Structure 1
C-alpha cells in the first residue's frame, strides 16, 4: 500500500514564486503557475502553495492566484497556506481550487477558530502549519513568523490539535528552511502528538536525509521546495533515489508502465 508522499512546495511573496531561506531571505524564481505546472507534470504527490506575506498584510487568501492555477487543469492535489483568517476564507480557498488549507497565524491568534474550519470543510481538508525548532534545552519552540518570537507549545494548543479537527501537521524546520541537508531529524521524534501525522519540511531534498525522515514514525510526507525548481526531472530523480519506500512512482515511470 502506498502511504508515503513527496510534496513540492511553491513559496509566494508579492505574487511571485521565490526561493526562501529561513523565512527571512527571498530570491525570485518566476510565476507560481509555471512552477505548479512543472511539479504537476513531474509527478509530485501534492503541491504546497504557501503565500508567506498574506497573514502579515491581513489580506486573506490569494484567491486570484488559486483561480489561475485552477484554470491550468492541474491533476495534483493542492494544499494552500496563507492568510486564512476564518471559515469563510477557508471555504473560499477550496472553492477557488485548493483541496486542503493550512493554517499558521490563526493557530496563534485563535486556535479554536482554526479547529472550527473542520465544520464546513471536514478535518481531512485542514492542516496545522507548525514552524518549530529545538531550543537549548531540547524542547520544541514554536515560531510566530510575523513577530519572529518563539514560545513553548501551549497546552491549550496541543489540546486543540489533538481534538480531531486536523488531518495532518506541516512541521516546518524554519531554521533550516532553504538549506538542503539541514533538516533537524530530531523534530519528528520530539513532536508530542503521535496520532497526528506529520508533513516534514525545511532543509529536505538531499536523498539520504529525505529517506531517513520519510521513514520516521509519524512522518507521512516530506515537502521539498527550492531544489525542485532548478532542474527538469528533479522530482523523478529524487523519487528514484527513494526507491523501496511506499511512494507513488515518478510520472514518467508510470507512463512507461502504461505503454508497456
Structure 2
C-alpha cells in the first residue's frame, strides 16, 4: 500500500501568502520564503505554491519565487497559476518545481494536458479542479472560482483522463476556509469514474478531518493551507495524528509527535512533569 502524503498549500496573492475563505475573502499571512522555511522544518511531504490571481491578471506565477524556494527547500515542489503554454510550464519546471499545476487553461485548450504530458511526462502534471455545488450539481469553476464552466468534474475527468493527468487536485470552493472538513461526497464521486490519484483540498479545520477523508475515500494525499500556517509544527503534528490513527504515512524525520496525546480539537496535549521531591 502506498503511504499517504501530507501536502502544504501556499496560496499567493499580491506577492504574499494568504488565507483563503470561500474563494472570496483573502487574509494576508506573510512572506513566501518564511512560510516555506517553516514548512520544510516542520517535515511536510510536499509543498504546493499557487498564485491564485495569475490567470485573472493574464500573468504566470513568478518563476523567480519558485527558483528561490527550490534553492532553500529540499522538498518536492509543485507550482501553478496562469500556466498557459508549454514555454510557461518549461520555465516553472526549470526554476525548480517538480510538478506543474494546471487549472483554468485545461478548460480553454483541449489538448494542453496531452501536450504537457508528452513534453514533460505524466508524473509532472497535476490538474486542479475548483469545484462548487450549484443547484445540487457539482460544477467546475475557473479564474479563482469566478467563472462557471457548467462542466461537471465527472464529465471533465471522463473526457480527459487518458490525456496524461498524473494527479487530480480536487479543491472544494464550498468547503474552502469553513474548517468543516473535506467534501467527501465530491471526492468519492470523482474516484468512482477514474483511477487517477486524487489529492483532497478545501475545508480542513483539524487533523481528524484529514483522517476522515483518508478513511472514507482512496485519496493519495491530503492537502491544506490555512490550518498549516497557524499552528506551530503543524505538518509534523498532523502526520503524528494520522500515524496514531493507523494511517500509513511517511515517517517524520525531524519532529516526532507520535508519542503525544491529542485533545478533542486534535491539538497536542503537553507532557506533564511532576515536581521533584
1:231 partner SS:
coil
Query: Aligned pairs, how many?
Result: 254
> Normalising by the residue count of structure 1, what TM-score does the alignment of the two structures yield?
0.90
Instruction: Give 1:61's aligned residue.
Output: 61
Structure 2 counterparts to residues 83-94 of structure 1, below 5 A:
83-94=82-93
Instruction: Give 1:204's aligned residue.
Output: 204
Instruction: Give 1:143's aligned residue.
Output: 141
Consecutive unaligned residues of structure 1, counting only runs of 5 or more, are none
Instruction: Give 1:120's aligned residue.
Output: 119
Would the alpha carbon gap of residues 164 and 216 (structure 1) be closer, same or farther in structure 2, given more than 3 Å must change? farther
Offset at 1:180?
1.6
* Per-residue deviation, residues 153-206 of structure 1 (Å, max 9, x unmatched): 288743443114111100001122122224222111111532111100001141
Structure 2 residue 17 is the aligned partner of structure 1 residue 17:
yes
Q: How far apart, CA to CA, are the structure 1 residues paired with 2:154 and 2:35?
A: 38
> Normalising by the residue count of structure 2, what TM-score does the alignment of the two structures yield?
0.85
Instruction: Give 2:74's aligned residue.
Output: 75
2:9 partner SS:
strand
Output the aligned Cα RMSD.
2.2
**Does the 8 A contact of 2:21 with 2:177 survive in 1?**
yes
Offset at 1:2?
4.3
Q: How far apart, CA to CA, are the structure 1 residues paired with 2:217 and 2:228?
A: 25
Would the alpha carbon gap of residues 183 and 195 (structure 1) be closer, same or farther in structure 2, given more than 3 Å must change? same
Q: How far apart, CA to CA, are the structure 2 residues paired with 1:154 and 1:29?
A: 31
Instruction: Give 2:213's aligned residue.
Output: 213
Offset at 1:61?
2.8
Would the alpha carbon gap of residues 57 and 177 (structure 1) be closer, same or farther in structure 2, given more than 3 Å must change? same
Instruction: Give 1:249's aligned residue.
Output: 251
| Structure 1, 222-231 or 143-152: larger mean CA deviation | 143-152
Consecutive unaligned residues of structure 2, counting only runs of 5 or more, are 259-277
Offset at 1:22?
1.3
Offset at 1:147?
6.8
**Does the 8 A contact of 1:140 with 1:190 survive in 2?**
no
**Does the 8 A contact of 2:70 with 2:95 survive in 1?**
yes
| Structure 1, 173-182 or 21-30: larger mean CA deviation | 173-182
Q: Which has the larger radius of gyration?
A: 2
Would the alpha carbon gap of residues 30 and 249 (structure 1) be closer, same or farther in structure 2, given more than 3 Å must change? same
**Does the 8 A contact of 1:111 with 1:160 survive in 2?**
no
